[in-house]
Amino acid sequence: MHNKSIVLGSTGLIGKHLLTYLGEKDSSVIAITRRPIDNMPKNVSPMIIDFDEFLDQGHLPDCKHIYICLGTTIKKAGSQESFKKVDLDYCLGFAKKARESGATTISLVTSVGANADSKSFYLRTKGLLENEIIDMGFDCVNIFQPGLLLGNREESRPLEFIGQYASYLLNMTLLGSAKKYRSVDAKRVAQTMANTADIIGVHYFTYEDFLGVQ
């Protein structure tokens, strides 16, 4: 079986760290991107494409594992419709392309609280994504549900920057079953993704699952 992995969302907060961790492993990685990426690990190759054009007529190389870290915000996207295109349509489109190219494992980043029946448009979209991915027939489905992500983004999100500091205090008040809502360093999520074994079935990862990595 080929050991090639594909990463979608490779310039984002989790994706850029994931490339680093996967780059430390003895396998080949393709980073799907819309623009060049600087300082990539030597075993990571860029695949620079136009997403809409590619999903209409492109094909992914043979692969075993696809990592989907793609996501935006409704504010950045400009509308719920544009947000859905990125966080649902693009993710599903590339997952289908990966299945067609032989992928048997998918690792997907969604959000804590994702639920297809949620009243929140954001969480409902994430829940719908999870459900449709599960139904695609991958042997192994790893779903990562972090809370607020901590780390330095390429784009400026002022309110999130303030929220990161407040989150350290808030984390101490989130106990018991509420721990899963704690904020977490994006590096920890990425490292957990890179080190998760391909075990048949559907597996969910939340806050406490991200604490075992260093």
Angle at 201 between CA 176 and CA 148, to 5 degrees: 40
Q: Which of 16, 64, 126, 180 is the catalytic position?
A: 126
Please tell me the distance from the alpha carbon of residue 143 to that of residue 126, in angstroms, as a whole number: 11
User: Is-catalytic flag, 42?
Assistant: no
For 158, the token pair is: 């002022």
User: Is-catalytic flag, 126?
Assistant: yes
Residue written as tokens 């409704």?
A: 74
Q: Which of 21, 96, 122, 181 is the catalytic position?
A: 122
Please tell me the distance from the alpha carbon of residue 74 to that of residue 18, in angstroms, as a whole number: 24
Q: Which stretches of the chain are DSSP H helices?
A: 15-23, 51-57, 74-77, 80-84, 91-100, 121-134, 158-171, 186-195
- Positions marked active-site: 122, 126
